[in-house]
Structure 1
Amino acid sequence: MKQIFTILLVATLSACGGKEESNVQPTTASLELPSSFFTETRPNDVKDLVEVKKTAKKGDEVTFLARIGGRKDASFVKTLSMMIVADPSLISCELMGEEEHCATPEDYCCEDPALRTQGLGTIRFMDEKGEPYSFSIEGSHGLETLKYVVVAGNVVDINDKGLFIVDASKVWVGGKPSFGNNRQGSKEGS
């Protein structure tokens, strides 16, 4: 399990580079997470991820707003029920308004690397044995890169180098923002 944390930390802290093309196609979940992880009612008065990270400690129950993304073609772990999320203050490339600005807007490569490091987190969905499910959750219950999510769960690891891992207990899935409306999709019905 420690090796998984190390891999996720390295993946989270990496930045994109150049205009490398990828032939990796998004996959949808062949298996579904239990619906008990999801809610259709968005919690009220939720802080953004960065604000929660400032005071969170290991073992804390937290709830925060974020967007799915933060890693080039790897915001969802291909073989485990884990995903990377980014603070809403980070601007993904598709919100910068320039057509064809970036082929992989989900990696936030145009953001300051230090802000990106502090603005990312890893979300895990654990089974009844305390292990991540052994399948990708991309597409499960509407989980999709760049969508807003409100995550409630338990902080299992955090440090001052940007590491922030939360085991999800409940997730609300919103929509995607658009150029000129960065918070579109972050509220119920938007």
Structure 2
Amino acid sequence: MKKVLFILGELTDDDIDWMIAISTQERVLAGTTLIREGQLIDALYIIIDGTFTVSVQALGDKEVAHLSSGEVVGEMSFVDERPPSATVTAAVESLVLSIPREELATKLQQDIGFASRFYRALAIFLSDRLRGTVSRLSSGREPSAEERTAQENSLAPNIRDNLALGNTRFDWLLRRLRGMNAQTLE
């Protein structure tokens, strides 16, 4: 499941328009580190296309996860303002939407409605991520497709509905970004 769906499902169309307006698209070449463990970052990222590996130094730079289109990166450091606890590296040439930390923080301070929706979305997202981590640690393996579907079906009905809305908005976001790229090339 694309994790950005939790966020896009909670935000309004106007919120998403604002995020697109203040963000930039960044092409990340294969092998390039997007986030380095222990070094502060100045953006929140949404993976538009591509694949990233996540590794942790304390585990001997062991890869602990793979992230792809629709994943959010840098959210923990955004919330707690601490350096990242892992390194995120492009496995293939990738495209991310980079949302500047300062502008996002200012919007959260100035727009209480946006802040409420955004932080609720992050709480749901982080809760889902933690449940997935606990599940993997307890079973010692990645969940099967059937197990992932069962996990999604166990979500509260309003969250499941928002995921469907988030999926529609992610597809809309991709079409909009592609349109912006086509205009830039002209």
Larger radius of gyration: 2
Q: 1 or 2 for the larger relative contact order (CA 8 Å, sep ≥6)?
A: 2
TM-score, normalised by the number of residues in structure 2: 0.28
Whichever structure has more helix as a proportion of its residues is 2
TM-score, normalised by the number of residues in structure 1: 0.28
